[in-house]
A and B are shown apart, each in its own frame.
Chain A
Amino acid sequence: MIETKGLCKNFDKSTALNNVDVKIPEGSVFGVVGSNGSGKSTLLRLIAGVYYADGGEILVDGENPFNNNKIKEEICYLPDTPFFLHQSNLNEMKKFYKMMYPKFNEDTFNTLGEIFKLNVKQRISTMSKGMQRKAALMLSLSTSPKYLLLDEAFDGLDPVMRKGLKSIIAENADKNLTTVIASHNLRDLDELCDSIAIIHNGNIIYCDEIYKLKSNIHKVQAVFKEDIKEKDLEGLNVLKTEKTGSVLSLVIKGESSDISNRLSALNPTFLEIVEPSFEEIFIYEMEENGYDAKEILV
């Protein structure tokens, strides 16, 4: 299990992570989403033992991963910019990883080589960005890690490869591989992750199972004979209100049944509750925390 308690990380005068509490159970697929510069990559690097925390605690299987060989043998970290030895090919990288990771599995490496259709003798620097990403994934997965940390895992992959990667991750999750993915691709995370953490400005906004997040926010479209006043919606946690003609669109946080009962009491001529997409949920959560697209637009 990966656990953080009051985790803090500063870079010079700016705070990257502030009092972050996260619990990632074993065998789960955990997503980390957030605005740009929110601290997603920082969190992954702390878990990987690349950074050491300025405050709080980070535990992987009960131990601090920083400068800890034993724990790091169980972790494989794949950053957004993968690293390869200068002028090396996959075979040479395989030897390097085999030297570093005691549990490196050559069969997995060969199998993935066939799936990803990569030439192991080709110099990696001559490969495209997407191919390099595949090469990095191939090496990471071959280390047989217990914890796989992927930063922008889907970046640069074509849709077929993305699907392939998702099925590999899902399959390995059954074999107790814990995967932590930091990404902006919410659709893929939605399909893949059991739990999610939303970070904004170094603070955790939400950290729980994804279905709970989804079940807690609802999009409502309703038509009322008369205009609805603000006090009519008192007691409901309305995140957003928009009126297009006679149709009132609301984004409300809370239990679906409660929302339905309250709005029904206002005698709408039309009432529909839909589940928003994960992307929409993310945007609503960000707007609630002051990160609004309207502020970006000139």
Chain B
Amino acid sequence: MTQKRSSCNLNLDANLLLFTIKKNLGFSAVFSVLVFLFSPLYIYKYLTDKPLYFSTVNTKDLFVIFAVGMSVAVTVFFLILLYINFSFLYKKSNSDMYHSMPLKRSELLITRFLASYVSTLIPLTVGFLGFNAALGFAGVAVNFVFYLKIYALIAALLLFCGLFSLIFVISSGTLFDSVVAFIAVNVGVIIMVAIVNTVMERNIVGLRENNTFIHNLLYSTAMNSTPFGVSLNILATSLIENKIVFSLGQIIAVTVFSAIMLLLNIFLYNKRKSEKCETNFAFKFMPVIIGFIASFIGYFFFNLIFGSSVNNCFSIFGIIGAFVFGIIYNIITSRGFKQIKKALVVSAATYLSVLLIFASIQVDIFGVEKYVPDVNNIEDVNVRVAGYEFYALNKDAVVSMHKEIINSGFKSDENNSSYVEICYNLKNGKSVSRSYIVLNDTAKTEKLLFLHNDIPNNIQKKFKVKSEIKTFECNMYYTNDTKAGTEESSFATLPRNYAEGLLNALISDYENIKDINEVNGTKIYTVYLNAAPKNKKELSETANAVYNEGFNVYGSFKNTLRYLEKIKASKYMVTEEAAG
């Protein structure tokens, strides 16, 4: 009797999918048990054994540790399953049989991949359900909706990382070479990006100069240069902020990248020659890429250890390092000296690429040094001058100042310069930071930053509608009363109604300032407005800056000064000493 094949239009063989999942069930079951023992059960024991004087359990921290540990564990498990389900690619007899069977290659690929993925979701689900159950049984509150969202996020990111990893599985001829390629690319690319970032910072004015290579490796965009780094970043940010931080842009990028990886995998597998089984790599591009990475890292590694400077592109040590690492890699993968010539060619090509990269950085070919974002693309901008931070700034003014810094050729003077940091938050979610040591005159910070600014709107935004404010304090520091050589000055705490009046006067003064010259250099008062909202929840979420703001009152602030005189603010003034 002839049965019908169960293939559907999605190139999926349902029977083979179920068959493979059943085959993997043993692994999934064992891993699920391990997950359960080391996670939910352990957590339950921890919660129920906790000392009596702990009245609350920090479930957020507990969940962060659990979620990160779980995601690392299932990722490793997923990779292992991928290698198990695609192990037929590494043995001739198995490969020949599978490829002789009435199964399209794309069907085989997608079915095996999905089987690995579904088999991985089993222990992931067990872990999460177990965690919720452990908390529930221990009598601790469960934030089930958020946990479910994190579960879905991990599942989605697993798919993303899995599709990327599949390239190494398909393009290699042996398990060993596949694992070497996987590690070399994922670790190597991060190291390469960190190296380029470090070199850029050393050579391009405006980028931070203080970061070491290790700092860049761990904290810069280097970690985001592989799908695993991106995934960990998204997951960690979501866990820390206690909400899913996965912007639309990121979702689109991840989806598009995943789709590209899927199509690439199908393309590569269709092109993969069966006879490449048990050779090093099925395609020529992979050893070239890894050889390049190895030589690139070797160059900088030798430069770092033996050379005078990490970014000396003509260093003989660097050249030796490039060739040594390239040859070592070649010996590992070809199990001998068989393809030394090829290794030497790749190393030489890598060195030329390094020269090109250096030259590009030196001449600032991408215009990083002179880059100033378009005002229309800026969401907001903060500036730090000599350690003081300024928020809610006029974007045009800051951009104008930035351009002036660049046009001045980054001039500075030891005695008359300030350290200026500009941080743009762009509308696309990205941020751009630059830091310079510039002449004070160029910076013109205090005046420039308050010119045509939108402080009035920001004040109103921050302090919102008066009915939302529970308490409103105003502390004033009378600047001209500062004792010489000390930071002591007279201050006053005004009652609430006066604080509101002062706020209105300040807003009207800021709205009236049209020209930079109207902001005279003489500062008379520094006013600190502190407001506590009625809504307690908001209070805990806005612990820092939103309801606190400091303003300098200048000689040109007529309304403010008139108001202060009207309320006889001076009678509220006390010295710090008198206040005790």
Contact = CB atoms under 8 A, between A and B. Distances in A.
Interface in B82-101: 92-101
A83 B102 contact: no
B100 A50 contact: yes
B102 A72 contact: yes
Interface string B548-563: 0000000000000000
B4 interface: yes
B97 A83 contact: yes
Contact of B100 (A75, A96, A99, A104): A75
A179 to B, nearest CB: 15
- The binding surface of chain B is classed by DSSP as helix
A77 interface: yes
A25 interface: no
A77 B100 contact: yes
B3 interface: yes
A73 B102 contact: yes
B4 to A, nearest CB: 7
Interface residues of B, number: 27
Given A51-B273, A83-B94, A99 B102 contact: no
B93 to A, nearest CB: 4
A67 interface: yes
Interface string B3-26: 111010000000110010001000
A49 B104 CA distance: 11
A70 B4 CA distance: 12
Nearest to A41: B96
A102 B94 contact: no
Given A11-B275, A75-B100, A83-B93, A102 B2 contact: yes
Interface of B: 2-5, 7, 15-16, 19, 23, 92-105, 270, 273-275
B104 A45 contact: no
Contacts of A11: 275
A243 interface: no
B102 A79 contact: no
A75 B273 CA distance: 20
A104 B23 CA distance: 21
A83 B100 CA distance: 11
Given A50-B95, A102-B2, 8 more contacts: A11-B275, A50-B100, A69-B5, A70-B102, A77-B96, A79-B96, A95-B19, A101-B102
Contacts of A123: none
A186 interface: no
Contacts of B101: 72, 100-101
Contacts of A101: 101-102
Contact of A50 (B4, B15, B274): B274
Contacts of A76: 100
Contacts of A98: 3
A48 interface: yes
A103 B2 contact: yes
Contacts of B16: 99-100
Contacts of B2: 102-103
A67 B103 CA distance: 7
Interface string A98-125: 1111111000000000000000000000
A91 interface: no
A67 B92 CA distance: 18
B344 to A, nearest CB: 20
